[in-house]
Amino acid sequence: MKKIVTGIVVALTATTTLMAGVNAAACTGCHGADWSKKALGKSLNVAEMTKADIAAALIGYKDGSYGREMKGMMKGQVAKYSDADLEAFAQTIGK
């Protein structure tokens, strides 16, 4: 049993390391280098959002459950990433 658990942990760690992660440079043109710009005048100030809210927004844009009139644009930004990538990235920005 211990061996199996260790194996899973190793596999998860390897997956995390392998993931290139979200390319922030693709986002900051719209959102600002410090994430405080309202993208195209339409987004919230992402720098003011909590990490949990950012994660929910990014995953929600991907699965279509979050967003307003310009959500289609954000879907295009996040569709190529895994939920785990988006979750991890959200932990690096916001409050």
H helix intervals, the chain? 2-18, 25-31, 51-63, 71-78, 83-90
Nearer to ligand HEC, 13 or 92 (CB): 92
User: What angle (nearest 5°) sits at the alpha carbon of residue 42, between those of residues 77 and 71?
Assistant: 40
Nearer to ligand HEC, 10 or 42 (CB): 42
Q: Which residue is nearest to ligand HEC (CB)?
A: 27
Residues that bind ligand HEC (CB under 6 A): 22, 26-27, 29-31, 39-40, 42-44, 46, 54, 57-58, 67-71, 73-74, 77-78
Nearer to ligand HEC, 9 or 83 (CB): 83
CB 48, min distance to ligand HEC, A = 10
Nearer to ligand HEC, 7 or 63 (CB): 63
Q: Which residue is it, tokens 């295009």?
A: 76
Dihedral angle computed from the Cα positions of residues 87, 48, 43 and 86, in that order, rounded to the nearest 10 degrees = -10
Q: Which amino acid is at 64?
A: G
